Amino acid sequence: MNRDRHNSRAALDIGSTVIKVAMLDDAGRLLWQRFYDRDFEAGIVGQVESILESLSLSGDRDDVQVCSSANGGLRVGIVSLSRRFSGAVLRDQALLAGANPIFLHTFDEEPKHASYADILLVGGGIDGEDAWPMRERLERFNPEKYRYTTLMYAGNKCLAEEFRQRHRAVVVSNPLSQSLVRSGNSVFETIRRAYLDDLVYKEGVSELRGNLALGVRPTPEVVSLGFQRAVLNRSAIEVIAPCVLLDIGGATTDLHYTVEILKDNNGPRPIPMAGTSVGRYVFTDLGIVASRDSLLLQLRSHPRLFEFLSTVLSDDVTENYRLFREGEYQPAPEVLAAGCLFLALDRFAQGRGPGLPAGDLWQVAQLILTGGAAQALSEVIAEKIAGLLLPQSSKPAVLIDRKYQVWVEGMTFAGRKLAAAAV
């Protein structure tokens, strides 16, 4: 193993199932990397420090980049003046910050069974005194119809103080400013800080010593950058568009997709960012460790469970089907990972999930799988699962990212300021 530290830097990812360490040269090329299963008894601090010591890496280095996905992300609900302009901008900034927009409503919509949101984000209109459409709707707005922890306002600045006093909201600057062109990144920065605070304080990442706890980035943001880099042909990963990438982990399964595969009845699509147009969604209930119980519950009640088991098991399908239905079956990691893949694609095809658009899987030319849990899958099984949801005439190419190259590309992307620039 090349341990030459000259002009090199390290990258560290703390996941729900795997901790990854990579050494990169000054051009961002991978020199070597190591993977370690999470040791939950040792805890994040103990295991990370032990790993770094074994690799003769110091936590005091100022060139160690750290990201984490151990908590699964914030849930953001959005209420806006319109879906096409203010709603689309607020949604894109939440996505770029690593959060999961779970619904997008206009003020005129009556919320029906709105999911719980960590942040309820309210915005719309451009800055200016002539703000009667927005003022009228804000006067009628009742946040008690929603379930949330924090209320945030990012609309017309002339109405901000009145809204803050009425509802005790956190106020950030209006991303639409004085025009319909996006201006500033206050929503992105605020949600990203909230995401990291939630991730850091719940998972103990902040207790890391030295420079490690500084500048921690959400892994979904890093993977999104790596995916965008590949779609832009600025990556060693060869992408066949339109495509879908699934990051399957212990707590969540993150869906990344090129937006041309969305069905036409989804409404406004994400606004193109830096020459490409990709979207992301987090399935917070699909994972092989922390979300194992919810994953098994959904598989157990799925009408196509027998077909799924016939695809992933080589024998005793009928008996295992009976045990699965009765809650007595203990699936191997590869079956759990396959279940995450199956349910994520199935729900994406139907748009079944709060804030999840429907995708036309017939258009998918390539399926890319990454993440710690995805390593348990084989290309053959992944192809068969895709075949359950697609006609035989539509067979996407399957690429399993065995070396976590998407993560490496995201951590080293020279365009990592893309998120801030795009908003």
Confidence of residue 26 (pLDDT cuts 50, 70, 90): confident
Paired tokens of 404: 């976590």
* pLDDT tens, residue by residue, 220-276: 788 888 998 999 888 888 888 899 999 998 878 889 999 889 987 665 555 444 445
Nearest to 388, CA basis, from 280, 287, 312, 332: 312
| Structural domains for the chain | 8-71+199-217 (3.30.420.40), 75-195 (3.40.50), 222-409 (3.30.420)
Determine what percent of the chain is predicted with pLDDT higher than 90.
Answer: 29
pLDDT computed for residue 263 by the predictor: 87
Distance CA 108, CA 81 (A): 8
Helix (H, G, I), strand (E, B) or coil at 349: helix
* pLDDT tens, residue by residue, 274-308: 445 788 887 877 888 877 888 898 899 899 999 99
pLDDT > 80? residue 96: no
pLDDT computed for residue 397 by the predictor: 93
Average pLDDT over residues 344-370: 90
Helix (H, G, I), strand (E, B) or coil at 69: coil
Claim: this prediction has a pTM higher than 0.85: no
Adjacent-strand bridge partners of 12: 21, 66
- For the chain, the straight-line distance linking the first and the last C-alpha, in angstroms and rounded, comes to 41
Whether the CB-CB separation of 124 and 141 falls below 8 Å is answered with no
CA dist 230 → 8, 395, 409 (Å)? 23, 21, 8
pLDDT computed for residue 196 by the predictor: 58
Paired tokens of 288: 């092989």
- DSSP 8-state secondary structure symbol assigned to residue 16: S
- Give the pairing of strands 30-37 and 18-25: antiparallel
Which residue do the tokens 């040792």 mark? 42
pLDDT > 80? residue 331: yes
Average pLDDT over residues 34-58: 83
